[in-house]
Amino acid sequence: MKFPQPQNLKTIAGLINCDYVGADDFQVLGMNEIHVVQKGDIVFVDHPKYYDKALASKATIVLINKKVECPEGKALLISDDPFRDFNKLSVHFRPFERAASAVAISAEIGEGSVIQPNAFIGNNVKIGKNCLIHANVCLYDNCIIGDNVIVHSGSVLGGDAFYYKNRPEGFDKLISCGRVVIEDHVEIGALCTIDKGVTGDTTIKKGTKLDNQVHVGHDTVIGEKCLIASQTGIAGCVIIEDEVTLWGQVGTNSGITIGKKAVIMGQTGVTKSVVGGKSYFGTPIEESREKLKQLAYVKKIPFILKKLKE
């Protein structure tokens, strides 16, 4: 997420009441998670296991819970609770806006687009030309919809990321302030749920088609001309490259990549990244031809045991 105007390190430190290392006027342009950070962004880290990764990332401001040596060209924000303070910044720069109507005044709807009754169109939503938004669709604030997009009834775009910190008193929610971006010629089936990014975008690219009851987690990027069948669950921060097919009831781990033109057969658990151009099946995932051979061998076990007894 980029801030509406550039900020400086002293101002940001004042917002969260923390110490800092760096010049008062050190420029701060936005905030993001580590997998999408860019120069000028704040990234937060609160576990020693990830200190080096955060300090070496593209982020130039690191919100951290320990005073460490500051890398050249970067700045530090020293906080006793970076998770809490990251949330404070999210709320400050993108506060919740209460809806005043079913279709927000600030929403932009392109020529030829149809919004069916009982759909909710949130603040700052942009819908392109010749789209069809069916009844009971919910588009949360800041969603971006391209041209010639169809969203079927009951789908929800822009729900919060499933991201919590386990504290002694209960789970603490990481506040989501990202967006959902749907490119041209995408069709989204009924009862799909697409979570917005924590600070970045969850993106579905041009020409992709989703069946009914598909879930897409936060910050996931789905490429062009993908086919995703019913009851598939895609975790957060997944990259699905172009022309991938996911058949029914596929599930994925977070943070993996599925290569271009891969085919994932039904009920497969995608537990790791896989290269493109191949077909996969099973849990844990393997190339489908090998997995089917293994299943065929398993069926022969009773016959083999019988022969051994004889």
The pLDDT confidence band at residue 308, using thresholds 50, 70 and 90, is: confident
Q: Which residues pair with 201 in a beta bridge?
A: 179
Residues 267, 157 share a domain: yes
For 133-183, how does the pLDDT look when each residue is reduced to its tens digit (9 = 90+)? 999 999 999 999 999 999 999 999 999 999 999 999 999 999 999 999 999
CATH number at residue 88: 3.40.1390.10
Is there a domain that residue 134 lies in?
yes
How many separate domains does the chain show? 2
**How much is the pLDDT for 75?**
97
d(CA 145, CA 299): 49
**How much is the pLDDT for 280?**
97
Residues 287, 187 share a domain: yes
d(CA 285, CA 303): 27
Is there a domain that residue 120 lies in?
yes
Is residue 253 predicted with pLDDT exceeding 80? Answer: yes
Q: Which residues pair with 139 in a beta bridge?
A: 121, 157
For 205-242, how does the pLDDT look when each residue is reduced to its tens digit (9 = 90+)? 999 999 999 999 999 999 999 999 999 999 999 999 99
Residues 115, 83 share a domain: no
d(CA 38, CA 30): 9
Residues 278, 174 share a domain: yes
Is there a domain that residue 298 lies in?
no
Residues 135, 87 share a domain: no
Domain finish residue from 33, 68, 93: 93
**How much is the pLDDT for 7?**
97
Is there a domain that residue 145 lies in?
yes
Residues 119, 8 share a domain: no
Residues 148, 250 share a domain: yes
Residues 156, 72 share a domain: no
Residues 148, 39 share a domain: no
Type of residue at 187:
E
Type of residue at 235:
A
Is there a domain that residue 167 lies in?
yes
Q: Which domain holds residue 15?
A: 2-93
Is residue 310 predicted with pLDDT exceeding 80? Answer: no
Residues 249, 176 share a domain: yes
The pLDDT confidence band at residue 305, using thresholds 50, 70 and 90, is: confident
Domain finish residue from 46, 61, 93: 93
Confirm whether pTM is higher than 0.85: yes
Residue of 128, 103, 142, 137 lying closest to 183 (CA atoms): 128
For 70-114, how does the pLDDT look when each residue is reduced to its tens digit (9 = 90+)? 999 999 999 999 999 999 999 999 999 999 999 999 999 999 999
Show which residues are catalytic. Answer: 218
d(CA 285, CA 281): 6
Residues 154, 238 share a domain: yes
3-state secondary structure of 307: helix
Is there a domain that residue 131 lies in?
yes
DSSP structural state of residue 169: T
Residues 86, 142 share a domain: no
